[in-house]
Amino acid sequence: MKAIKTLLAIALTIGSTVAFAQEAASAPAAAASAYVAPPWTYKTKQLNRNQVDTLLGNPKKLLIIDLRRPDELVKYGSFPAYLNLQVKDLPELLEYIPKDRSILTVSNRAHRAGAAGDILTTAGYKVAGAIGSEDYREAGGTITKVAPLAPAASK
């Protein structure tokens, strides 16, 4: 009986040591997966969910420009209606963007959106601000699923 108690004590000690080691090993992984935003360095205002919801409440006065690649739009989704451009192409496409609406720029975590907002503001556009669609979704906002583009029909 004493041998069984000793084995049980050893098993409990080893088990708790293994559990502690597993918790300690998973702690850095959990910490590493938490997103830490880089500092905001743009003149464009970074908006929160409530501010964006207010803008969305008046869609006739709003233009949403989403700066993400098509694969990012499919993966993360976007707002119900948007113009999709890339930041690098923005200076060449300014003449196609209407100046009679407030503009909300969008990217995953708002940094491309902030850069685009600065370009648009410098060019005389009314930029309401920038938001990350992931930040908006994490704050409880609704993001719309985006379907992949259909392949072009061959002639």
Regions of the chain where pLDDT drops below 50? 1, 3-32
- pLDDT computed for residue 11 by the predictor: 37
CB-CB contact of 102 with 62 (8 Å): yes
The residue assigned the tokens 């000793």 is: 6
Distance in angstroms (rounded) separating the CA atoms of residues 37 and 32: 13
pLDDT at 153: 74
Say if domain 49-138 classifies as CATH 3.40.250.10.
yes
- What pLDDT score was predicted for residue 155? 67
Q: Where are the domains of the chain?
A: 1-34, 49-138
